[in-house]
Each structure stands twice: as structure tokens, then as C-alpha cells.
Amino acid sequence: MTLLEVQDLRVTFRTPDGDVQAVRGVTFAVERGRTLGIVGESGSGKSVSTQTLMGLTRGAVVSGSARFEGKDLLALPPDQLRRLRGAEISMIFQDPLTSLHPLYTIGWQIMEMIRIHEPSTSKEQARKRAVEQLALVGIPQPDQRVNDYPHQFSGGMRQRAMIAMALALNPKLIIADEPTTALDATVQAQILDLMARLQKEFDTALIMITHDLGVIADMADDVLVMYAGKPVEHARRRELYYAPHHPYTVGLLESVPSATGDKTRLRPVPGQPPSLLSPPAGCSFHPRCRYVMPQCRVDEPPLPAGQHGSACWLPSDLVGIGPEVAARRQEASRAQRD
């Protein structure tokens, strides 16, 4: 069942240098209890999209719709959106230090959140729940650590505390924005394990935003790849990794050194991402695309709906990575050019 359905979301920031089109038409859906991974590089609009849903992009020009259980988040009055935030939808950020208040204890912050959304809860009850939450995310001696301030926690512990806070009101959807980027590999593994376990336990839907294809490979059921403010491909996880279609997705996968120790030359995506002040005409990836065709410079390819869609003019049967597919793609783009 669909929990959140985002339709043609567009976000523009007005700056003295011109309008920055940070998000240029994003459509996706999140199912109950499933994980949607949104992957993209800096400036792809992956974070801005979800921040907009939560009403965190002040001053931006927003259009489109985002239905969460029938309610359009983008049309909701601020006080109703605030009530939803934390209780029904909660967020986990990359740097817990910026989202935890430095002058209040961890426990106080969790209690406060519970009591804001459930005013009938007594102080003692809230405290008990805060301790339970900390225990749930694996913080040792939670009844003591509940009185600690954020700076007394290590990076991994702070992220656990953030997760405890995000789960405190048993939300239906958690949006995690680069939750492990600031953490070391061994701690990242702990946090990802924890998130996956708790998600299963509470049947929560999760949107996982990251630039790390490894994290997506571990966590996501469905994947959305974003480039220059637009989704370019969406697919089930295995399909995306083993039968990608969009040349950008292929490029991303080929840019990562292989996990098997293969030392053949990497095939990076040439060039740099475009400026969002004046995105290129046609397909926004065409200036960097190996298979660019005349049509790509003029017409913007649509993103087909369904289980696997790729916003690319190359025929849909040219799917996958590897030399053979690449050669066939090359041929197809040459054929179109003639």
C-alpha cells in the first residue's frame, strides 16, 4: 500500500545570481514498510526534495503534490505539518550535532518530543519511554546516559540517540538523509544494522538518501537515481545494480572500484554536473553522456512509470553493464545519428 506519493515536485530558490532549479519534477512513491533509496551526487536535489516535504526549505518556490495518507504535505498549514513531523514522519540527519540541542540532555529532548505530541503523557512516563528508546537503539546504561548532553556522546552514539528520537513516537515514515556519511565504516555497519532491524520490527517505511551506492545496496528495496534535480532511473534494487539502463546509473556503478579487487581501468563519467541556474536543454545528462544522440540535445526524455523506468532515449532493451551492452548502445546511438 502506498504511504507517500510525490507527484512532479519542483523546488526553485531565488538567488541574486538567478533562479536555482534545485528540484525539477520528482515523482516517486513509498510503500508501507519498504525502503526507498534515493541516490545522487551533491547538487542532484536528493536532499532538497525530502526537506521540502517536511517544510524545511523556507523561501523556496514549490510546486507539485506529496500525498501522505491522502493529505497533501505541500498544501498543509504549518501547524498541522508540525504535528505530523516527528509523530508520523521523522527525520534522521547526517550530523546529529546540528539537530540535537547542545544545551539540553538527550533524555530531556526525547521527553519533550513525546510530550509535545502526546500532551497527556506524564513526566515520569515520558522519562521511562526515553530510557526504553535509548535501550532499544543499543545505548548501554540507558538509565544513566539519558541525563547526558549530546557532546558527551560519541558520533555513533549520537546517531543512535537520533534514531531513538526518530522512533520515539512510532512514525510511519522515517526519512534518513545521509545518516552514516559522517561515521566510520565499523560504526556505519552498526547503525545500518540497527536501522534495518528496527524498521522490520516496527514495520516503518524508510527513505534513505545517500551518495553511497554501497549503503543503498545494503538497505534499499527500491532505488531512485537522481541527477541535476531530476530522477533519471528507478528500479528494484537488484535490477538497478545488475541491469541498469540509464547511462548515468551505469557511469556511477562503473566509477566505483570493484569489490572483488579487479584493477581494470575505471570508467568515470566525464565532465562535471551542470549548473542548476541554467540546466542544459534536452536531457540534462547529454553533455556528459557517452551515447549522446541528436534527439538528446533537444527533447527531454520522460521517466516511464512501472517497476523499472529510465529517462533515456536509448531503446529499453539495451540494458545492463558490460562491454557487449556498451557496444550495442554505441551502435544504437550511431544509428540514430546517421
Partner 1 sequence: MSLTEAQAEAEHLPEQPPGVPGKGPWRLAWERLRRDRAAMISLAVIAVIVLLALLAPVFAAITGHGPQDQFPSEGVTPEGLPVGPSATFWLGADGLGRDLLVRMLYGARISLFVGIVSTLLATVFGVIIGMVAGFYGGWVDTLLARVLDVVLSFPYLLVAIVLAAVYGAGLPLLIFVIAFFSFAAMARIVRGQTIAYREREFIEAARSLGAGKVRTMFVDVLPNLIAPVTVLASLLIPTSIVFEATLSYLGLGVDPRTPSWGAILYEATDYYRVAPGLLLFPALMLLITTLAFNLLGDGVRDALDPRADRR
Partner 2 sequence: MLSVTDVRKYFPIKEGLFIKKEVGRVHAVDGVSLEVRAGETLGIVGESGCGKSTLARCITGLHHVTAGRIEFDGKDIATLDPKAFRRDVQMIFQDPYGSLNPRRRVGSIIADPLKIHRIEGDTRKRVQELMALVGLNPEHYNRFPAEFSGGQRQRIGIARALALNPRLVVCDEPVSALDVSIQAQVINLLTDLQDQLGLTYVFIAHDLSVVRYVSDRVAVMYLGQVVELAVGEDLYKTPRHPYTNALLSAASVADPDLSAKRERIVLMGDVPSPINPPTGCRFHPRCPKARERCVAEMPLLIDSGNGHLTACHFPVQPGEHLTSEHPQIQQQSTEPQL
Minimum separation from the CB atom of position 3 to partner 1 (A): 36
Give the C-alpha distances (Å, rounded to integers) separating 187 from 166, 182, 198: 19, 10, 17
What b/e string do you get for 159-179 counting C-beta neighbours within 10 Å, with b at 16 or more?
Answer: bbbbbbbbbbbebbbbbbbbb
Percent of the chain that is helix, strand, coil (3-state, to 5): 40, 20, 40
First to last CA, the chain: 46
Minimum separation from the CB atom of position 180 to partner 2 (A): 9
Binding partner 2 (rule: CB under 8 A), the pick from 59, 259, 306, 323 is: 259
Q: Does 187 help bind partner 2 (rule: CB under 8 A)?
A: yes
Contact code string over 240-269 relative to partner 1, x by CB under 8 A: -------------------------x--x-
Would you say 54 and 91 are in contact if contact means Cβ atoms under 8 Å apart? yes
Binding partner 2 (rule: CB under 8 A), the pick from 18, 61, 75, 189 is: 189
User: Out of partner 2, partner 1, none, which partner does residue 215 contact, by CB within 5 to 8 A per kind?
Assistant: partner 2
Q: Given the rule CB under 8 A, which of 85-93, 149-157, 168-176, 201-209 is the region that contacts partner 2?
A: 149-157
Q: Does 267 help bind partner 2 (rule: CB under 8 A)?
A: yes
| Paired strand residues for 236 | 222
Binding partner 1 (rule: CB under 8 A), the pick from 270, 302, 304, 315 is: 270
Minimum separation from the CB atom of position 268 to partner 1 (A): 6
Q: Does 272 help bind partner 1 (rule: CB under 8 A)?
A: yes
CA distance 50 to 54: 7
Torsion angle defined by CA atoms of residues 27, 320, 177 and 95, in that order, rounded to the nearest 10 degrees: -160
Burial of 148 (0-12, 13-18, 19+ CB in 10 A): middle
Minimum separation from the CB atom of position 184 to partner 2 (A): 4
**How many Cα atoms within 13 Å fall on the side-chain side of residue 99?**
22
Minimum separation from the CB atom of position 236 to partner 2 (A): 10
Site residue total, partner 1 (CB under 8 A): 8
Q: Which is nearer to partner 2, 101 or 238 (CB)?
A: 238
Q: Which is nearer to partner 2, 98 or 264 (CB)?
A: 264
Residues 268-297 that bind partner 2 (CB under 8 A): 268-270, 272-273
Contact code string over 129-148 relative to partner 2, x by CB under 8 A: ----------xx--------
Burial of 108 (0-12, 13-18, 19+ CB in 10 A): middle
φ/ψ of residue 81, rounded to 5: -65, -40
Give the C-alpha distances (Å, rounded to integers) separating 309 from 141, 299, 312: 48, 17, 9
CA distance 56 to 50: 9
Binding partner 1 (rule: CB under 8 A), the pick from 214, 257, 271, 304 is: 271
Q: Which is nearer to partner 1, 280 or 294 (CB)?
A: 280
Q: Does 322 help bind partner 2 (rule: CB under 8 A)?
A: no
Q: Given the rule CB under 8 A, which of 15-23, 189-197, 300-308, 324-332 is the region that contacts partner 2?
A: 189-197
Q: Give the residue among 324, 334, 151, 316 at the shortest CA–CA distance from 235.
A: 316
* C-alpha 109 chain-centroid distance: 25
Q: What are the residues binding partner 1 (CB under 8 A)?
A: 16, 265, 268, 270-272, 280, 287
Q: Which residues contact partner 2 by CB under 8 A?
A: 41-42, 139-140, 154-157, 184-190, 192-193, 211-218, 237-238, 241-242, 251-261, 263, 265-270, 272-273
